[in-house]
Every structure is written in structure tokens, then in C-alpha cells.
Amino acid sequence: MKTLEGEDLCFPQINNSCRKPLKRHTENTFLYILVSTISLITVTFNLLVIIAVSHFRKLQTPTNLILLSLAVSDFLVGLLLMPIQITKIAGCWLLGSFGCGMFNFTSYIITSASVGNMVLISVDRYVAICQPLSYSMKITRRRVQVCICLCWGSSVFYNSMILQDNIKYPDKYHSCYGECIFFIALLPGVFDVILTFVGPITIIIVLYIRVFVVAVSQARSVRSHIAAVTIKGSVRITAKKSERKAATALGVVVIVFLLCFCPFFCYSLIGQNVETDAEISFGVWLLDINSCLNPIIYALFYPWFRKSVKLILTLQILQPNSCHANP
């Protein structure tokens, strides 16, 4: 049997060290650049959302407070999780067993909070469009702040319970020093998928379908009501544009969420060891990339975001009383 040389091991000075994977310098260099770019974009875009909503008081509406919470979770993904994922491209885990446990625990907290924020956004949009007369009474800043705190608090509590075995014994499933294996048994995995994926995505889809139906119905009602007026043709065009915009926005929200979250949670459903093969690693990265797409989907559709970015980049927010500006 061929003896492993020091350069073949992740930690040559440790007897139980894992073996380095085959060297692929070109492929690894490309991945380093790609992932670093995605991480930078994620941090930058979400930081702009955080600064905009936090600084301008007129933007601190209930809806934007939820967007702020979502941006915070996505910002943490780009700032904390993605850089650590970059170090794993070479194939060796460098942060020890405790670091492995805390990394996976933190990633699950942030992911659960992000899903919870998306549910809050769907509920907010449902009430705003389907019950517009009672929106201001039902969706207040105080209630939204409480819901956001509950979202983050329940995420920490829930994941500390379901992942306690991995937190207490982070190296329980490690076959050698230099790997970071995260294992969820079948029953907890099924429960986790139902609670953090199937349940939320069902709520989101049901609410968004209802929102879409109401939005299309309202657009058609407006078109029919003014059909007898002389501007009949232009109203028809405007109504059709409204229908397409509603369909596009809702389609992007649901499809991107499904595409980014399904691969990872499918592996959790069958109780696989997370991050032990290429397919699961792809699922983890696709999950993280959703944090890069969220500010584009939820923020760039709003004109206030583009105006806020301009004020931020030109440093006009440093001027006195700039917080009272109307982006």
C-alpha cells in the first residue's frame, strides 16, 4: 500500500488527517473567482438595502422593515457563510470540529430566518392587495417588528433543538481530521423539510396565487368599467401590461425560490450527509446564491431603491437632515 506523503494530507502533522482531493488548479481558481464575486455582490446589494431602509425614515414602512430583515439575513450569508464556503473549495476543512458545528448551526439559523421573512412578505402582500381597506389596521410597524423578532428568535430556538446532536458532538460523524460533515437523521430531516420548506412554500404559493387572481381581476374590472369611454384602447393596453407585470413578478418570486431551495432540501429529506458530494455542495451553493438574488427580486423592482442607491453612492446621506429625504 502506498504511503501518503505530507503534501497529500490536509494536516501532515496529524496522524488522523484527511487526504487532499485531486488537485485541479484551473477549476479551483475559476471557482474562487466566481464565488468571491457572488459573495461581493451579495454583501454590496444587501448592504445598500440595509442602509437605505435604516437611514431614510420615509422608507421605514411595514413592508420595507420585512425587506430589511431579509436583507440582513442575506447580508450575513454573503459576509459569513460564503467566505467560509470558499475555503472549502480546496477540499480541506481548516476551522476544526467546533468551527464546523458553529458554521452549520449559523447557516441553518440564517436560512430559516430568510424563509420566515419570505413568508412574512407574502402575508404582507396578500393583505395589501386582497384586503386593502384593512391593511393599515392589520399590518402596523409594531406588529411587523414583533413578527420579525419572533422569526429570528424561533429560528435560533428551533435549530438549537433539532441540531443539538451536531452542536454537542461536531466531530461525531468525521472519519478523519480536516472534513466537515453535517448529518441529519431521516425523521428529523423530514420534520425539518416540512417545517422549513414544504410548509412555507405552500403558504407562499397559496397566498401569491390568491394575490395574482385578485390583481388580474382588478385589472380586468378597471378595463371593463372604462371600456365605454373614448380612451378604451389605451386602457386595454394598460390593463394587459398590469396583468403581465403581476404574472412576471409573482412567477419570478416563486420559481427562483423553488429552484434555489429544492435541491438542498431534497437531500435533507432523504437523510443524506450534507456536503459530502458534488451534488449536495451544488445544492448548498444554490441555496446561498438565492441571497444574492433576493435584493434584486424584492428591492430593484421598487423605484425608491434606485433613488436611494444614487443618494448613498453620491454620499448625499451624509448631509444634515438627509434622513428626512424622500427617495
pLDDT at 246 over 50: no
Three cell numbers, residue 236: 386595454
pLDDT of residue 68: 92
* Calpha distance 177→16 (Å, rounded): 6
**pTM for this structure?**
0.83
**Cα–Cα nearest to 197, from 283, 130, 296:** 283
Contact 292, 42 (CB under 8 A): yes
Residues 122 and 203: beta-carbon distance below 8 Å = yes
Answer yes or no: are the C-beta atoms of 261 and 290 closer than 8 Å.
Answer: yes
Residue 236 confidence (pLDDT): 45
| SS3 label, residue 228 | coil
Name which residue leads in pLDDT, 109 or 6: 109
Separation in Å, CA 48 to CA 1, 67, 233, 282: 56, 12, 40, 27
* pLDDT at site 109: 93
How many CB atoms sit inside 10 A of residue 36's CB?
13
Q: Which residue has the higher pLDDT, 234 or 225?
A: 225
The percent of the chain in helix, strand and coil, each rounded to the nearest 5, is 75, 0, 20
The residue-averaged pLDDT of 229-256 equals 53
Residues forming a β-bridge with 182: 274
145-182: pLDDT as tens digits: 999 999 999 999 999 888 887 777 777 777 788 888 77
End-to-end CA distance of the chain: 69
Could you report the per-residue pLDDT of 28-86, keeping only the tens digit for each?
Answer: 788 888 888 999 999 999 999 999 999 898 889 898 899 899 899 999 999 998 888 88
Please, what are the domains in the chain?
6-316 (1.20.1070.10)
pLDDT tens string 201-212? 889 888 888 887
- Between 216 and 309, the higher pLDDT residue: 309
Higher pLDDT, 267 or 78: 78
> Quick one: how far is CA 322 from the chain centroid?
30
More reliable by pLDDT, 218 or 121: 121
Residues 239, 237: Cα–Cα separation, whole Å = 5
Residues 37, 33: Cα–Cα separation, whole Å: 6
Question: pLDDT tens digit string along 81-131?
Answer: 888 888 777 778 888 888 888 888 898 899 899 889 889 988 988 888 888
Q: What is the mean pLDDT of the chain?
A: 78
Q: Which residue's entry shows cell 384593512?
A: 134
Q: How many CB atoms lie within 10 A of CB 5?
A: 8
- Report the phi/psi class of residue 318: left, alpha or beta, with left for phi > 0 and alpha for psi in -120 to 50: alpha
CA 247 from centroid of its chain's CA atoms: 22
pLDDT band of residue 229 (cuts 50, 70, 90) is: low
